[in-house]
Chain A
Amino acid sequence: MDRRSLLKGAVIAALPAPALAQGASRALRVIPQANLTSLDPVWTTAVVTRNHGFMVYDQLLAQDARGEIRPQMVEGWATEPDGLTVTFTLRTGLRFHDGERVTSRDCVASIWRWARRDPFMQVLQPSIAEVEALDDRRFRFRLRKPVPLLTMALGQTQFPCFVMPERLAATDAFQQIRDAIGSGPFRFVADEWNPGQRAVWAKFDGYEARAEPVDGLAGGRTPKLDRVEWTVISDPATAASAMTTGEQDYWEYPLHDLLPLLRRNRQVVVEQRLLDGTYGVCRFNCLQPPFDNPAIRRAVAMAVDQRDYLRAVAGNEPGGWEACEGVFTCGTPLANDVGSEILKTHSIERAKAALAEAGYKGEKVVLVAPGDYPQINALSLVTADILRRLGMNLELVSTDWGTLVQRRTSKEPVERGGWSIIHTTASGQSLSLPVYHLFLRANGPQAWFGWPEDAEIERLRNAWVEATDPAEGRRVAEALNRRALEVMAYIPLGFYWQPSAWRRNVTGAFKAPATVFWNMSKA
């Protein structure tokens, strides 16, 4: 027996009975990808809060592993032949964690609160006349015109429509709710929440899972663990050590550099759980010189080789990344590379010639890189290297993410605190459809930071929303890809996979579009 076991023995002997009982429960100890600072998945778009949302709340509809939308809280829905009325019926037996029954009034209030913040729903909203509760179990959408994307919006994973009690959902969408009461498979243990350190969920005994087997986020969400305990470990080396010694059971986002180390440990499984890769984005400020000139943006794109970026982030792990030379998520129905030839140039020399031809006169380029965000920082440094090799007048500003997100809001010239290039990452989910593809928007001041303006892109985007058959949608997507790469408001940088790691005694891990813990167990 080693000293630590001896100490543990002594400690266990000294523990009171309830603590022993707690130790015997099936608690999954998780290192989350970030600190859970807010509990309201409508108020903030942080992925960690969304993951908390999946534990606590349930969804009306949900996405399966193939991306299809399936019923979750609802039994089903019926669309009138004219397409102007869609009625949803809730399953029986749905209860909130405070014991109250889930009613259609809760659903309607939750839909309205979520719709005020969800970009997808905001596209559809002009077509929605009313959402009303018909009785305790049925609610109805009355539409001004048919909205084929309605169920897709309600069942999306990107910004999920979580159902909360009406009294909470009545809170303004820009005010944070304090109580995390939902009807999901786990209930939040508020007393044990220590932001920055620990968050705990306990199995909700009153949850009635669907009978179907789990399939992505659809199907039966059966809580098999008694508790899920998140411990924030900000230092990746410490997190890896905690996984190695068995102090933690599950690490959501292990650093790519540490994956070989984890793989060498027989007690640790390293696998891809998320169905989507993470996409790199190099964004230009289209308002200020030199990148107010599309020809200069295109010249830089000619020098880009996505593989350099992806190696910088994810190393040479086999299957760790893939190039994706289009604006839509690879492997999804809209993915195409029509007009993507420019991204396949991969030539500094040709880019230099194009830059000279575009009329670059040595204007200063300010690239802002977040040093505290390893992946985005790596992307930024590769672009900085390309710009230097192109002979551009580069100023690399290394700062933290908090400063970057403020600075990117500045429309000023670089001499007055503005910026020229920033980088970010986005989930494959968020780039799969034009309705929530942020970087495709080209509506000037309303567009994402960088503020590109292009009437053709906006026209095509609206055309896709209106398209009724998949073939037409596909044609519009091809035109969008071509136009987006002509405008070149951003350069797609390919995608890398973000695997997770768990101890071998953890069972039931399945692939899904988000990190969730139902159906998982621990031996």
Chain B
Amino acid sequence: MFAYVVRRVLATIPVMAIVALFVFSLLYIAPGDPAAVIAGDQATPQDVERIRASLGLDRPFLVRFGEWVWNILRGDMGVSIFTNLPVTTMIQQRIEPTLSLMILTLCLAVSIAVPMGVVAAWKQGSWIDRAVMGFAVLGFSVPVFVVGYVLAYIFALELDWLPVQGYTKFEEGFFPWLENLILPAIALGGVYIALIARITRATMLEVLQQDYIRTARAKGAGQTSILFLHALKNAAVPIVTVIGIGIALLIGGAVVTESVFAIPGLGRLTVDAILRRDYPVIQGVVLLFSFVYVLVNLLIDLLYTLFDPRIRY
């Protein structure tokens, strides 16, 4: 097991290297020029050139890429072209809101979606099943920003229960933190709940047909015990897989959600950096996201052994 974990962690290195090369190449060939954005309308072409040179953007691709990789290896992600702040500092400033949003969404989604899927499978064909499936379709169909605006309108503007925007750090208290994040988490969680609920239902339907479920029933096990101890545990592998894959959905959705609720997270940092062509920030954030995604996948693989003892690494 330990050897497997080490192997998988080491395997992230070439993955990250490919991601790094890919991101760097894409940015190199993509249109846009931060020097022109900085210089503004008043600048002459010579001014723009001077700024480009001062930023080192006039150097060859390989030189810039080599320098960037060398700095990354030393833990230095570079400095933002615009703010002059280290990229690591900017990521540190933004990581907590995004992490908070994702964790809260994840908890909310799993705690709602899994029981929903289980109940829908148990009551297959009933109105409950149809309601859950209807919700799943709705969750997939309605864009995150629409849900966000509707929630903000109802709970912030009309009822005045929750703030419209912003983020309060966890260290300033759990309730202020929750007050700011609950609407974004619900908005972001919609599609995630729909996804997990559907997969849970489908997997549970298959498991509930198995002989060992019939045996459990014959032995007099209660319905709750059958559903959650016998069936759900055996249905867990595909569900956990989907939860893991869904992390990518959350990362993508966080960009929109953070904009709608003005949460100062990594999603907004990424969008702002892309619009301004702040290359070091884009590269740093994308690299971080890909690293997180690789780690999440590793974690999911390791979780398989908990749910299915037959799996060995």
> Contact at B83–A195, with CB atoms within 8 Å?
yes
The answer to whether B264 touches A402, judged by C-beta atoms less than 8 angstroms apart, is no
Residues of A within 8 A of B36 (CB): 405-406, 408-409
Judge if A522 is at the interface, Cβ distance under 8 Å.
no
Find chain B residues with CB under 8 A from A125 CB.
none
In the complex, which residues of chain A have a beta carbon less than 8 angstroms from the beta carbon of B244?
none
B275 A241 Cβ-Cβ under 8 A: no
The stretch from A229-237, A251-259, A337-345 touching chain B is: A229-237
Residues of A within 8 A of B84 (CB): 38-39, 176, 178
B27 CB to closest chain A CB (Å) equals: 12
The 8 Å CB contact of A238, one of B44, B45, B85, B261, is B261
The interface residues of chain A lying within 8 Å CB-to-CB of B160 are 2, 4, 245
| A37 on interface, CB distance cutoff 8 Å | yes
Q: Is B161 within 8 A of A174, CB to CB?
A: no
**In the complex the two chains form, is A2's CB within 8 Å of B83's CB?**
no
Q: Decide if B164 is an interface residue (CB 8 Å cutoff).
A: yes
- Chain B residues contacting A406 (CB-CB under 8 Å) are 31-33, 36
A176, A399, A405: the one within 8 Å of B37 (CB): A405
* Cα(A175)–Cα(B56), bound, Å: 12
Interface size, chain B (Cβ < 8 Å): 57
Closest Cβ of chain B to A492, distance in Å, is 16
- A-B contacts counted at CB < 8 A amount to 155
B44 & A446 in contact (Cβ 8 Å cutoff): yes
A398 touches B (CB below 8 Å): no
Tell me if A93 counts as interface (CB < 8 A to partner B).
no
Question: A234–B41 contact, CB under 8 A?
Answer: no
Name A424's contact: one of B41, B83, B156, B164 (CB within 8 Å): B41
- B-side contacts of A426, CB under 8 Å: 41
B43 at the interface (CB under 8 A from A): yes
Contact A402 B277 (CB under 8 A): yes
In this assembly, does B291 line the interface, its C-beta being within 8 Å of a C-beta of chain A? no
Q: Are A438 and B42 in contact (CB under 8 A)?
A: yes
List residues of chain A with CB within 8 A of the CB of B157.
Answer: 241, 244-245
B125 within 8 A of A: no
Tell me if B163 counts as interface (CB < 8 A to partner A): yes
User: Restricting to A379-405, which residues have a CB under 8 Å from any CB of B?
Assistant: 399-403, 405
Contact A37 B164 (CB under 8 A): no
Count of interface residues, chain A, beta-carbon cutoff 8 Å: 61
Task: Write the nearest CB–CB distance from B6 to chain A, whole angstroms.
Answer: 37
Closest B residue by C-beta to A19: B172
Residues of A within 8 A of B152 (CB): 238, 241
**With a CB–CB cut-off of 8 A, which chain B residues contact A45?**
39-43
Is the pair B262, A235 in contact by a Cβ cutoff of 8 Å? Answer: yes
For B3-41 the 0/1 string (1 means CB < 8 A from A) is 000000000000000000000000000011110111111
**A68 within 8 Å of B (CB atoms):** no
Q: Are A402 and B93 touching (Cβ within 8 A)?
A: no
Q: Which residues does chain A contribute within 8 Å of B32, judged by CB atoms?
A: 400, 402-403, 405-406
Q: How far is the CB of A350 from chain B (nearest CB, A)?
A: 32
Cα-based distance from A361 to B157 in the complex (angstroms): 56
List 5 tightest A-B contacts by C-beta distance, closest first: A45-B40, A197-B264, A37-B82, A406-B33, A241-B164
A-B contact pairs, 28 of them (CB 8 A): A4-B161, A11-B173, A11-B176, A37-B82, A38-B38, A38-B83, A44-B39, A46-B38, A118-B42, A174-B47, A174-B51, A178-B84, A194-B94, A194-B264, A196-B269, A231-B262, A241-B156, A242-B164, A245-B164, A401-B275, A402-B32, A402-B37, A402-B274, A402-B276, A403-B31, A406-B31, A424-B41, A445-B45
Additional pairs, 10, CB under 8 Å, beyond known A235-B260, A438-B42: A10-B175, A44-B82, A174-B54, A194-B264, A242-B165, A400-B275, A403-B32, A406-B32, A406-B33, A409-B33
Enumerate chain B interface residues (CB-CB to A < 8 A): 31-34, 36-45, 47-48, 50-51, 54, 80, 82-85, 90, 93-94, 149, 152-153, 156-157, 159-166, 173, 175-176, 179, 259-262, 264, 268-269, 272, 274-278
Write the residues of chain A forming the contact surface with B, with a CB cutoff of 8 angstroms.
Answer: 2-4, 7, 10-11, 14-15, 35, 37-39, 43-46, 117-119, 159, 172, 174-176, 178, 194-198, 231-235, 237-239, 241-242, 244-245, 247, 372, 399-403, 405-409, 424, 426, 436, 438, 445-446, 448
